[in-house]
Amino acid sequence: MKKPKIRFKGFNDDWEQRKLGEIFKYEQPQAYIVESTDYDEKNNIPVLTAGQSFILGYTNEQFGIKEASGRNPVIIFDDFTTSSHYVDFPFKVKSSAIKLLSLNNPNDNMHCAYNVLQCIGYLPVSHERHWISIFSKFDVLLPKSIDEQEQIGQYLANLDNLITLHQRKCDEIKKLKKYMLQNMFPQNGEKAPKIRFDGFTDDWEQRKLSEIATMHARIGWQNLRTSEFLENGDYMLITGTDFVDGSINYSTCYFVNKERYEQDKNIQIKNGSILITKDGTLGKVALVQGLSMPATLNAGIFNIEIKNELEIDNKYLFQYLKAPFLLDYVKKRATGGTIKHLNQNILVNFPVLTPQKLEQTKIGQYFSNLDNLITLHQRKCDELKNMKKFMLQNMFV
């Protein structure tokens, strides 16, 4: 088949077969390698890698800069992993293990050609350079019509811009949250935070977690065998692997029978319960929300229940436990060798700083709103990535 399933109106011709080495010419990167890795975000020249991290940092070196732009974009291609990135701004590179690809024919559309490259499903099996010996020889199909290339390229560029926009917004909110966590909670023995909502001036109080909440986990003799994990049922089983970014992914949960569910009321969870992993990946925290059926816990998870909800706001406590304080505390005290364990006698003494209830509620809601914004932008980003994946599968041959 030499025609894609999805096309813009007005185009019907077969696509033409060309080798990647005919579409792209390459340049070695030695002239653009950064000399110092003393990066600083205050600098303005990005240092790139073709790997997942992409931008390693920013340099102040004003020489040996690859002057890419919107009119003259390039593709950085990792010669070993074969990963690649489209670049339309000036940059330097970290490594010589890449090729800088540009178009042989300036009439071709770079964004269209880049996505043809992205569609190649080759997985490296050996540690060797790939562009000259392998990739440049691949046969691919590209529209003969420059107008069709332009429309495809612009459509995919718009998708990429939307993905970048939502990812950048997500990252900005994460940075804001990190900053506010450092400033809206007291640090290093302080009795009040640097940033507060108007109208609150009282010192905060430090209490042990065991003073404000109960904590229970599945005890040893109640442990479940994997053969008891059911694919469906009326009683959900939550495990540590179901934790995702502070919440529970119910779609990955197993189920148990009624007898196992009723075995221990202390680990029958409800909306508002706070869960903490205690084995393996320690100190992951999740707030139970949107639960629509009875649920219990597998081994390896604490169920944290607030003793007096008139004194302690559950969203506040969740955010406090999810902040770095608990993880730092746990890392210093966890027991075990390769697989670490968080024992209850360690967790009970975890110090929790609390203001009065109204201030707790405002803080908890503020961070909950930030989490919702992060989730919103990440979800939109994922949706756009899935849309792009679908379109790549159907707009190219």
Q: Which of 130, 114, 121 is nearest to 80 (CA)?
A: 130
The upper half-sphere exposure of residue 340, i.e. CA atoms within 13 Å in the direction of its Cβ, equals: 14
Quote the CA–CA distance of 196 and 185 in Å, as a whole number.
9
What would the two tokens of residue 82 be?
């074969």
Same-domain status, 230 and 127: no
pLDDT, residue 280, reads: 72
Assign residue 73 the CATH number of its domain: 3.90.220.20
299 & 280 share domain:
yes
The answer to whether residue 2 is domain-embedded is no
Q: What is the pLDDT of residue 53?
A: 86
Cα dist from 315 to 58, 182, 187, 279, 380, whole Å: 38, 18, 20, 24, 25
Residue 210 and residue 330 in one domain: yes
Q: Is residue 270 part of a domain?
A: yes
Q: Evaluate whether residue 310 is within a structural domain.
A: yes
Whether 335 and 378 share a structural domain: no
| Residue 1, pLDDT score | 64
Is residue 397 located within the same domain as residue 282? no
Name the pLDDT band for 283 (thresholds 50, 70, 90): confident
Does any domain span residue 268? yes
Residues 111, 92, single domain; the answer is: yes
Residue 233 lies in a domain: yes
Specify the higher pLDDT residue, 263 or 125.
263
Please answer whether residues 395 and 152 qualify as being in contact, where contact means their C-beta atoms are separated by less than 8 angstroms: yes
Model confidence pLDDT, tens digit, residues 127-148: 889 999 999 999 999 999 999 9
Statement to judge: residues 193 and 271 lie in one domain: no
The verdict on residue 8 lying in a domain is no
- The verdict on 218 and 346 lying in the same domain is yes
Same domain, 367 and 328: no
Predicted pLDDT of residue 65: 97
What is the rounded distance in angstroms from the CA atom of residue 275 to the CA atom of residue 242? 11
Percentage of residues of the chain with pLDDT beyond 90: 84
| Residue 334: band (very low, low, confident or very high) from pLDDT cuts 50, 70, 90 | confident
Query: For residue 173, what is the domain's CATH number?
Result: 1.10.287.1120
Per-residue confidence at 333, pLDDT binned at 50, 70, 90? confident
* 234-260 average pLDDT score: 94
The pTM of the full predicted model, rounded to 2 decimals, is: 0.83
Same-domain pairing of 97 and 216: no
Question: In what order do the strands lie in the sheet containing 45-48?
Answer: 55-59, 45-48, 92-93
Mean pLDDT for the stretch of residues 227-235:
94
Containing structural domain, residue 392: 146-202+355-397
Question: Are 238 and 313 members of one domain?
Answer: yes
pLDDT at 337: 66
Closest listed residue to residue 130, CA positions, set 74, 72, 84, 73:
84
Phi/psi region, residue 128 (left: phi>0; alpha: psi -120 to 50; beta: rest), is beta
Long-range contacts from 35-40, C-beta under 8 angstroms, 24+ separation: 35/61, 36/61, 37/94
Type of residue numbered 252: T
Pair (109, 185) in one structural domain = no
CA distances from 124 to 22, 42, 79, 82, 364 (A): 22, 37, 10, 7, 47
C-alpha 119/C-alpha 98 separation (Å) is 19
